[in-house]
Chain A
Amino acid sequence: DAGVIQSPRHEVTEMGQEVTLRCKPISGHNSLFWYRQTMMRGLELLIYFNNNVPIDDSGMPEDRFSAKMPNASFSTLKIQPSEPRDSAVYFCASSPRWTGKETQYFGPGTRLLVL
């Protein structure tokens, strides 16, 4: 089975530009998570979807960040406008229906550099 797929794997953009990160969760998983990893703050949960519905977006830094999940097999994280402090690795993770033990399976991440 394919794991979580993210694209692009690397993104270099200039400040002010729009950035869209994409994620395809593992088939059959109904929970999807977006994380950001930086040296300073470690791994932070940005947003959590369950059955395509955003449940918790309290980790989204500010209005420049938005996330959507139009269907069970696709999600996007958008940054508009991007700023240099957004430079980080962004992970998408998915997990099956939650019964208490299930782990989250991470994608390979997107390394974002905003100049």
Chain B
Amino acid sequence: AQKITQTQPGMFVQEKEAVTLDCTYDTSDPSYGLFWYKQPSSGEMIFLIYQGSYDQQNATEGRYSLNFQKARKSANLVISASQLGDSAMYFCAMREGTSDYKLSFGAGTTVTVRA
């Protein structure tokens, strides 16, 4: 079974608008971490934001915020005030357990920001 599911293969968003990227996960471990990475066309993987399963508040990093709904097992990324430079592929990933190092990645969502 897929551990991370990203159902939106591609999205278009108008510049300055907000966009939400969906991510659902599957784990039976009560301790886990959720990560979002950005991969622009240049190819590098850029870490954006982290949410721990025991964190009481949703994570935020600048224009990035994570809408963490534990009961629904979803960890959606919200990008506010989209910029042209936000056009990229976005990956959701999960680490299970407190000591496990493995990251399970979703298939990714391509975001295209239109001027």
Contact = CB atoms under 8 A, between A and B. Distances in A.
B99 A98 contact: yes
Interface stretch (A13-21, A41-49, A76-84): A41-49
B102 interface: yes
Nearest to B49: A103
B107 A101 contact: no
A100 B103 contact: no
A56 B108 CA distance: 25
B43 interface: yes
B50 A103 contact: yes
A interface SS class: strand
B105 A43 contact: yes
B101 A42 contact: no
B31 to A, nearest CB: 8
Contacts of A98: 99, 101
Given A101-B50, A103-B35, A31 B44 contact: no
A45 B99 CA distance: 17
Contact of A42 (B35, B43, B47, B105): B105
Given A89-B43, A93-B45, 9 more contacts: A42-B107, A48-B102, A56-B102, A100-B52, A100-B98, A100-B99, A107-B44, A109-B44, A111-B43
